[in-house]
A and B are shown apart, each in its own frame.
Chain A
Amino acid sequence: MNALRRTVYFTGIVALCAWVLVPIYFIALGAFGGRIGVFRWPKSILPTDTSLAAMQLFLQVEGVGQAMVNSIIAACITMALSIALGAPAGYALARFTFPGQNAYRLLILLTRAFPLAILALPLTVAFIRIGLYDTAFGVALIHTALALPFAALVSASLFQAIPRELEEAAWVFGCTRLQAFLKVVLPLALPGIAATAIFAFVISWNEVFAASVLTVRNRTLTAYLLTVLAESPLHFRFAGGFLLIVPSIVFIFAVRKYLFAMWGIANR
């Protein structure tokens, strides 16, 4: 009975891991397996003739470097803006009761309800008018709009988890509201805020639709790859795909503890 349960349990774990890991593994294999490896059939499961040739080639292609820089710029701005706007909103939601609080909560989520496809044309027109079109900053603004609901709601739950009494104790012992926030609340919330920031970064890094619509020359990596991949050789595509996946995986792995805590999954 117990053995059966364990078997089922571990089979489940293996299946779930395989679901995620196998595709990533094959992408990596394609990216580093060299030109021949990609086309060989049947595929070898183990990496045979690994080479960095495809990756090197990919990185040397004109535009890739610039696209990566654009992506990083857009993602960093998104990260900064989401925290700068989202964390105070979250703090307000966590600490104050004000009329329309629940409506506000809902409204935050509703920003995600508008399909970007519908907004794309008016946004493009507006961005051209105010000169934001084809800039990393313009893309970052849209990405901020996408990441902000997440940042606000997650930081609200972060602040909610910090007992109000800690702040009150700080006031009693001579802190202003701001001092209490900086000395007591912020240090306690910082790991979670960092996790939120990284998640905002990942959202921006992975976003492709708005980035494709709103840029022509200054493409972000995702948008750039989308346009060039169709006419590239297969190993080249794998190299691009791998480069896109890696930062997300690394970041999510780095902050997994906080994400689990945020999503209410008990972490041991």
Chain B
Amino acid sequence: MSRLPAIPVQRRDSRLRVGSIGDWVFRRITALFALSIVALLAGMGFEMARASALSVASFGFGFLSGVNWDPVHRSFGALPFVFGTLLSSLLALLIAVPISFGIATYLSEFAPGAARGPLGFMVELLAAVPSVVYGLWGTFVLVPWLRDSVEPLLSSCCGGLPFFAGPQHGFGMLAGAVILAIMITPTISSVSREVLGVVPLTLREGALALGATRWEAVRIAVLPYARSGLFGAVLLGLGRALGEAMAITMLIGNRAEISSSLFAPGYTMASVIANEFTEATEDLHLAALAEIGVLLFLITVALNIVARLLVWRVGRLAARGEA
């Protein structure tokens, strides 16, 4: 009796039970492409470390605390850029987080079923608008509005504070923070919505059955469960804000100064790379810009790792709870 063709069993994890050259080759080829993703990430870290080596060797940790950025005199200190990046991103979070949580809660808990799809799609379209178009809109629409309406209002009602002092150009930290807030809102809200979506239905039902109102059910049963995932969503938004280059370059004013006023122009790490990298001719200048790039890369990679772990945790919790 001739042997039957071997049929692979246990297909779930596709481990090869029987030797088939086609399967072996197929697995190796796809693995090679998957490896390319890992290699790309590692290659980026390596290449940028190499590009910035000169600057790291010349300035050491002084690079981070130096406030003077003067390519002509070969003096490079990154503090104004770090400050500008952190401040604009944190301000953006201050605006975007409450709004995004509101959106996520509305879309996953309160909205009528028929409205969820279209509204969610429109919020996601906010993320689809290219960054440079936000920059264009910001330059000709947002900045004049801030200069003529918002900034005079802020300085007249809380003018005593140092944050709202000084000349009102429109271009400056405030404009940068507002545009960043608009751009990260879809990120934070869609990840938050995902997180709220994996919270088991039974938790809500339990709270509602005990007489809680819809909001109380969310507050008592859903939010505590989703907390770490929501925090992850905020971190992902922060990562996007830190790395955003075009829109903020067009709006923040691009002056390497540290000012307490939100009306004053600032500068960010991504902006200085975007503005100066093609014009830099000296090796040290290029290396200094690359070092800023490395910092940005490391910060965002670390943020993303933490954020993903937090978001995954909620999913795992849910999977375990239901099993």
Q: Do the two shown chains form a genuine complex with each other?
A: no
Residue ranges of B at the interface with A (Cβ–Cβ < 8 Å): none
Q: Which residues of A contact B (CB under 8 A)?
A: none
